[in-house]
Amino acid sequence: MEERFMREAIAEARMAAEAGEIPIGAVIVKDGKIVGRGRNCAEEAKDPTCHAEMLAIKDACRNLGAWRLTGCDMYVTLEPCSMCAGAIVLARIDRLYIGTEDPKGGACVSLYNITADERLNHRVDQTVGILKDECSDMLKSFFRDLRKRPKKNPEDISK
Instruction: Give backbone dihedrals phi and psi of 128, rounded to 5 degrees, phi first.
Output: -115, 140
Q: Average pLDDT of 92-102?
A: 98
List of residues 6+ apart from 154 with CB closer than 8 A: none
**pLDDT, tens only, 46-74:** 999 999 999 999 999 999 999 999 999 99
Helices (DSSP H) in the chain: which residue ranges?
A: 2-18, 42-45, 52-64, 82-90, 132-148, 154-157
CA distances in angstroms from 19 to 39, 49, 58, 148, 152, listed in the order given: 10, 17, 21, 17, 17
Distance CA 64, CA 60 (A): 6
Residues acting as catalytic residues: 53
**pLDDT, tens only, 142-155:** 988 878 877 766 56
Q: Average pLDDT of 95-122?
A: 96
The pTM (predicted TM-score) of the whole model is 0.92
**pLDDT, tens only, 72-82:** 999 999 999 99
The confidence score (pLDDT) of residue 1 equals: 73
Q: Reading across the β-sheet that carries 72-78, which strands appear in turn?
A: 33-39, 25-30, 72-78, 95-100, 125-128
Distance CA 74, CA 5 (A): 9
Q: Average pLDDT of 85-104?
A: 98
